[in-house]
Amino acid sequence: MPIFKEQSGYENGVSRPKGEANPVIGYSKNICDIVIAMNEKIEQTKKRECNPFEDTAIAEQWISSVEGERGKVREREIYPMIEEWASAFGEGARITEIGSGQGICSQYLGSFAGMYIGVEPSVPLTERAKELYSDDENKQFILGNAYKMPTECKDADGVFSMGVWFHLADLDAASKELARILKHDGKFNIITTNPESYDIWRTFFDNYTEDGKMISGKVNLPVTSLSRNDFYMHTMEDMLNSLKNAGLKVELTKSLGAMKSNPDTPLFVSIQGTHKKTPMV
Ligand SMILES: C[S@@+](CC[C@H](N)C(=O)[O-])C[C@H]1O[C@@H](n2cnc3c(N)ncnc32)[C@H](O)[C@@H]1O
């Protein structure tokens, strides 16, 4: 909500029309527009929730875990899916990853021959991504947030995100940003936790608290535990509605990442589709 929005009417007991200079404090007639614009900027840039990955110790735990993981769900199913999805773009295409972490997915783009931009809010993770992968001049890693994507990402042919959507409290805002940066006919692929598997995900947490749809606590990953992780248990309906309301067309949902112990309940779901921009009238 804006802190202040000008309306005609009373101010300090004085009635005046909208946009007219206030004789009491003497501001110019544009000041309200400036304040409204500033409020919108604050709305766009403020952080909606805590992101533990921005903490250096937790970022290091994540680096250790994701770089040490072998032969598990990521290698077996997630990276091959990203490779297949990215390989379908033509030469010179531009794809963006939202929440690129320490950059590992940029290694798995198959025959993709275009420009990749990884956007990530955590400074230590972005530094690690640059250290490991930015020798390739077709890869760029930028600090940014799902709620306010950098201008470099605008007009993307494709946008993907792996393991991020369940860390976001505000899916509507993230979906709007996704739609904003995707060009007409651009493709998206959101790989996130499968709502049907939340009971399994709970078992990975130690000493967690649960507040509404949010779980927070230590999470045990295959290689290194994260001392804190915040997990939003969004329903499938909420995820699909937020994408649809942002003008994105979902064409495929596919679950992946079943463990031997729970073969019928895969841990992840991929939500794929296209952005059909409505023409300006
Ligand atoms: C589980 S890691 C996944 C990283 C990477 N996508 C991968 O698969 O290796 C989750 C990532 O989501 C990022 N993240 C959390 N909140 C975010 C937000 N609001 N916008 C963008 N990324 C966010 C974290 O900083 C972290 O890098």
Average pLDDT over residues 8-22: 40
Same domain, 86 and 174: yes
Q: Is 81 in the pocket of ligand 1 (CB under 6 A)?
A: no
* Each residue's pLDDT tens digit, 168-192: 999 999 999 999 999 999 999 999 9
- Give the burial class of 91: count Cβ atoms within 10 A of its Cβ; 0-12 exposed, 13-18 middle, 19 or more buried: exposed
Q: Is 96 in the pocket of ligand 1 (CB under 6 A)?
A: no
Nearest ligand 1 atom to alpha carbon 164: 12
Give the C-alpha separation, 92 to 116, whole Å. 10
The answer, yes or no, to whether residue 47 has pLDDT greater than 60, is no
Total number of domains in the chain: 2
Same domain, 130 and 34: no
Same domain, 250 and 183: yes
Residue 56 backbone class (left: φ over 0; alpha: ψ -120 to 50; beta: rest): alpha
Q: Quote the mean pLDDT of the chain.
A: 88
* Each residue's pLDDT tens digit, 57-73: 999 999 999 999 999 99
25: containing domain: 9-44
Domain of residue 138, CATH code? 3.40.50.150
**Residue 281: inside a domain:** no
Same domain, 173 and 193: yes
pTM of the model: 0.85
Same domain, 39 and 56: no
Check residue 224 and give its pLDDT: 97
> Could you tell which of 167, 189, 190, 224 is best to mutate to test the pocket of ligand 1, judged by most ligand atoms within 8 Å of the CB?
167
**Residue 191: inside a domain:** yes
Check residue 48 and give its pLDDT: 79
Inter-residue contact 17 to 8 (CB < 8 Å): yes
> What band does 17 get if pLDDT is binned at 50, 70 and 90?
very low
How many CB atoms are located within 10 Å of the residue 245 CB?
13
Distance 174 CA to ligand 1 centre (A): 13
**Residue 133: inside a domain:** yes
Q: Ligand 1: which residue has its CA nearest to atom 10?
A: 164
**Residue 255: inside a domain:** yes
Q: At what angle do helices 171-181 and 236-245 cross, to 10 degrees?
A: 40
Give the C-alpha separation, 266 to 269, whole Å. 8
Same domain, 16 and 132: no
> Could you tell which of 45, 46, 50, 120 is best to mutate to test the pocket of ligand 1, judged by most ligand atoms within 8 Å of the CB?
120
Give the C-alpha separation, 81 to 88, whole Å. 11
Nearest ligand 1 atom to alpha carbon 49: 19
Same domain, 165 and 70: yes
Distance 274 CA to ligand 1 centre (A): 22
> Could you tell which of 46, 50, 51, 171 is best to mutate to test the pocket of ligand 1, judged by most ligand atoms within 8 Å of the CB?
51
Same domain, 214 and 234: yes
Same domain, 154 and 26: no
Same domain, 270 and 210: yes
Same domain, 62 and 185: yes
**Residue 4: inside a domain:** no
**Residue 280: inside a domain:** no
Check residue 20 and give its pLDDT: 45
Q: Which ranges constitute the DSSP H helices of the chain?
A: 31-45, 56-68, 73, 79-87, 123-133, 171-181, 198-203, 236-245
Average pLDDT over residues 201-224: 96
**Residue 37: inside a domain:** yes
> What letter does residue 75 receive in the DSSP assignment?
I
Same domain, 96 and 16: no
Check residue 277 and give its pLDDT: 79
Q: Strands 182-193 and 268-275, how do they pair? A: antiparallel
> What band does 11 get if pLDDT is binned at 50, 70 and 90?
very low
Backbone angles phi, psi at 108, to 5 degrees: -115, 60
Distance 120 CA to ligand 1 centre (A): 6
Nearest ligand 1 atom to alpha carbon 122: 25
**Residue 2: inside a domain:** no
* Each residue's pLDDT tens digit, 110-127: 999 999 999 999 999 999
Tell me the β-bridge partners of 44.
none
Check residue 12 and give its pLDDT: 36
Q: Is 51 in the pocket of ligand 1 (CB under 6 A)?
A: yes
